[in-house]
């Protein structure tokens, strides 16, 4: 019952938002849904009953390890959205509020989906719900980004549907009765048809990899994150990517159980490292600080893929990294949104001296930058350390070297860009726009909270969370 409530609360609130008349009070529905959602997730997370194998929707060990992070991300973002939408009071926010809530509901469904087809429908729905969020600013650039998102994302989603069908056929060919729950498919194990399973894995990796933003299917990401409001960027980079990652993990479990674990490992490792290297190279070159965050997101998806490829302790560290990535990206996207608004520009050439124009957001961006580039004692340092350890333990020295090399390049590229926009003298135009968009508590506290959470995760990782990650790894690793 609570499982369904976690999905239905945001979906029904979305319906209320569409019917709500007042533009000024409508955004309050976001924190209301956020608080309810977080309460339900927390409650279920503390006392989870194991779902039955045949259930299509359930709060299983994997859900328990990541859904609370998404809920927390949305909760803090929803308070930021209040202040953000007050700044944009001239714009109708009916669709924006409704789509944001719908996105939360569909991501909650995707993270709880235990059936191949249901999972696909949830991710497809979430993709469509994102569309109105991306072009909220209504500029020509925003529409261009939305079009590219629709074409690339739509193709990715279509390929993952084909992959789901191939998985279904693999089961049917192996004598399956049409049961497409992940539990049923895993139980079929080696009976699944291998050629069809390989097709399924390749297509799903391309499809859900597009949603994650693994190279070379990442091309929509810089455009979409660059043009979308900061709060949407935070939810996509911290939530949507997690959802696609979990989808891939659930499919990987089926493929591994059929004895093709070697293939999934190799492919994830290659895609992960390739994403990290390419993202690091782009990070050295991009002059736009919002696009920089998109490339950083591509890099962190690479890190997740590498962790998942290593399995065992590496997978556990990857699940830890899901939390770190979500919360730290929250701080970065929200503060970058503040800076973008105050500066009235977005590239190194036009923006300087933001430490004087918006001191709080500038400080948060710099600290968040240190956190995401894995400086101790922030959370990302510990999760990435865990992945490196797992890599060395598995004897993958070269992979670890590439991993560390890309992290270093990304650090160089990001610090160069961030300090260029924070230091120096602000231009006259930036002073004027900065005076128009003053920093208020509502715009600064949410990213600060994210930063605090990222720091807290690093200093004292709650034992309960460690336990959930370990349980999820155990649930995902089936010995064939």
The contact set with another protein (CB under 8 A) reads 117-118, 120-121, 124, 128, 131, 135, 139-141, 143-148, 150-151, 154-155, 158, 161-162, 164-166, 168-169, 172-173, 176-178, 180, 193, 195-196, 199, 222-223, 226-227, 282, 285-286, 291
Q: For residue 200, what are its two tokens? A: 């399924």
User: What residues pair up with 347 in beta bridges, in sequence order?
Assistant: 288
Q: How far is the CB of 310 from another protein (least distance, A)?
A: 31
Q: Which DSSP state fits 129?
A: H
From 81, 78, 86, 102, select the one nearest 22 (Cα to Cα): 86
Whether the Cβ atoms of residue 447 and residue 335 lie closer than 8 Å to each other:
yes
Q: For residue 327, what are its two tokens? A: 């919360």
Q: Please, which residue, 47 or 140, has the CB nearer to another protein? A: 140
Backbone angles phi, psi at 178, to 5 degrees: 95, 10
Measured between alpha carbons, how far is residue 119 from residues 90, 122, 165, 181, 373 in Å?
37, 5, 13, 10, 32
- CA dist 54 and 35 (Å) reads 30
- CA dist 260 and 248 (Å) reads 15
Q: How far is the CB of 219 from another protein (least distance, A)?
A: 10
Continuous H helices in 256-312: 261-285, 289-310
Q: How far is the CB of 434 from another protein (least distance, A)?
A: 25
Q: Please, which residue, 224 or 310, has the CB nearer to another protein? A: 224
Q: How far is the CB of 199 from another protein (least distance, A)?
A: 7
- The angle at the Cα of 220, spanning 144 to 329, to the nearest 5 degrees, equals 115
Q: How far is CA 2 from the centre of its chain?
A: 24
Total number of residues shown for the chain? 480
Q: How far is the CB of 465 from another protein (least distance, A)?
A: 34
Whether the Cβ atoms of residue 311 and residue 477 lie closer than 8 Å to each other:
yes
- CA dist 289 and 351 (Å) reads 10
Q: How far is the CB of 288 from another protein (least distance, A)?
A: 9
Q: How far is CA 426 from the centre of its chain?
A: 33
Q: Please, which residue, 77 or 292, has the CB nearer to another protein? A: 292
- CA dist 193 and 176 (Å) reads 10
Q: How far is the CB of 315 from another protein (least distance, A)?
A: 29
Q: How far is the CB of 20 from another protein (least distance, A)?
A: 22
Q: How far is the CB of 335 from another protein (least distance, A)?
A: 22
Q: Please, which residue, 122 or 304, has the CB nearer to another protein? A: 122
Q: Which DSSP state fits 461?
A: -
The residues near 31 (Cβ < 8 Å, ≥ 6 apart) are 75, 78, 79, 82
Q: Please, which residue, 296 or 361, has the CB nearer to another protein? A: 296
Q: Please, which residue, 71 or 160, has the CB nearer to another protein? A: 160
Q: Please, which residue, 178 or 395, has the CB nearer to another protein? A: 178
Measured between alpha carbons, how far is residue 131 from residues 6, 141, 236, 239 in Å?
23, 14, 12, 15
Q: Please, which residue, 158 or 475, has the CB nearer to another protein? A: 158
Q: Which DSSP state fits 24?
A: T
Q: How far is the CB of 120 from another protein (least distance, A)?
A: 7
Q: Please, which residue, 99 or 317, has the CB nearer to another protein? A: 99
Whether the Cβ atoms of residue 235 and residue 199 lie closer than 8 Å to each other:
no
Q: How far is the CB of 343 from another protein (least distance, A)?
A: 19
Q: Please, which residue, 164 or 361, has the CB nearer to another protein? A: 164
Lookup result for tokens 């996509």: 236
Q: Please, which residue, 171 or 328, has the CB nearer to another protein? A: 171
């Amino acid at each position: 019952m609570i499982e369904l409530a976690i999905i239905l609360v945001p979906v029904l609130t979305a319906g209320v938002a569409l019917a709500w008349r007042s533009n000024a009070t409508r955004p309050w529905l976001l924190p209301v849904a956020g608080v309810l959602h977080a309460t339900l997730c927390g409650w279920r997370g503390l006392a989870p009953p194991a779902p039955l194998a045949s259930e299509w929707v359930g709060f299983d060990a994997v859900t328990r390890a990541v859904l609370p992070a998404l809920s927390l991300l949305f909760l803090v973002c929803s308070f930021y959205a209040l202040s953000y939408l007050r700044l944009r009071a001239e714009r109708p926010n009916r669709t924006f509020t409704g789509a944001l809530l719908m996105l939360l509901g569909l991501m909650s469904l995707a993270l709880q989906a235990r059936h191949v087809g249901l999972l696909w429908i949830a991710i497809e729905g979430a993709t469509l719900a994102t569309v109105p969020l991306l072009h909220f600013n209504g500029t020509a650039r925003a529409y261009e980004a939305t079009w590219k998102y629709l074409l690339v994302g739509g193709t990715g989603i279509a390929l993952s549907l084909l992959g789901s069908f191939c998985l279904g056929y693999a089961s049917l060919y192996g004598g399956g009765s049409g049961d497409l729950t992940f539990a049923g498919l895993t139980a079929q194990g080696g009976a699944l048809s291998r050629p069809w399973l390989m097709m399924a894995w390749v297509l799903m990796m391309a499809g859900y990899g597009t949603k994650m933003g693994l190279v070379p299917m990442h091309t929509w990401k810089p455009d979409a994150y660059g043009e979308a409001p900061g709060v949407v960027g935070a939810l996509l980079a911290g939530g949507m990517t997690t959802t696609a990652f979990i989808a891939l993990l659930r499919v990987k479990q089926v493929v591994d159980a059929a004895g093709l674990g070697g293939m999934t490992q190799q492919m994830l490792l290659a895609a992960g490292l390739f994403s990290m290297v390419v993202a690091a190279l782009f990070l050295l070159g991009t002059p736009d600080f919002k696009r920089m965050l998109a490339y950083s997101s591509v890099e962190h998806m690479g890190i997740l893929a590498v962790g998942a490829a290593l399995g065992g302790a590496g997978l556990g560290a990857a699940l830890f990294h899901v939390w770190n990535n979500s919360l730290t990206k929250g701080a970065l996207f929200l503060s970058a949104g503040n800076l973008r608004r105050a500066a009235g520009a977005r590239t190194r050439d036009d923006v300087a001296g933001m430490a004087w124009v918006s001191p709080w957001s500038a400080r948060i961006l710099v600290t968040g930058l240190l956190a995401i580039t894995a400086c101790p004692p922030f959370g990302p340092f510990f999760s990435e350390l865990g992945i490196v350890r797992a890599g060395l333990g598995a004897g993958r020295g070269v992979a670890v070297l590439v991993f560390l090399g890309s992290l270093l390049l990304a650090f160089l590229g990001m610090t160069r860009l961030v300090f260029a926009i924070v230091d120096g003298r602000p231009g006259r135009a930036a002073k004027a726009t900065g005076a128009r968009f003053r920093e208020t508590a509502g715009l600064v506290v949410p990213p600060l909270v994210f930063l605090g959470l990222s720091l807290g995760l690093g200093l004292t990782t709650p034992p309960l969370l460690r336990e959930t990650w370990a349980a999820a790894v155990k649930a995902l690793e089936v010995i064939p």
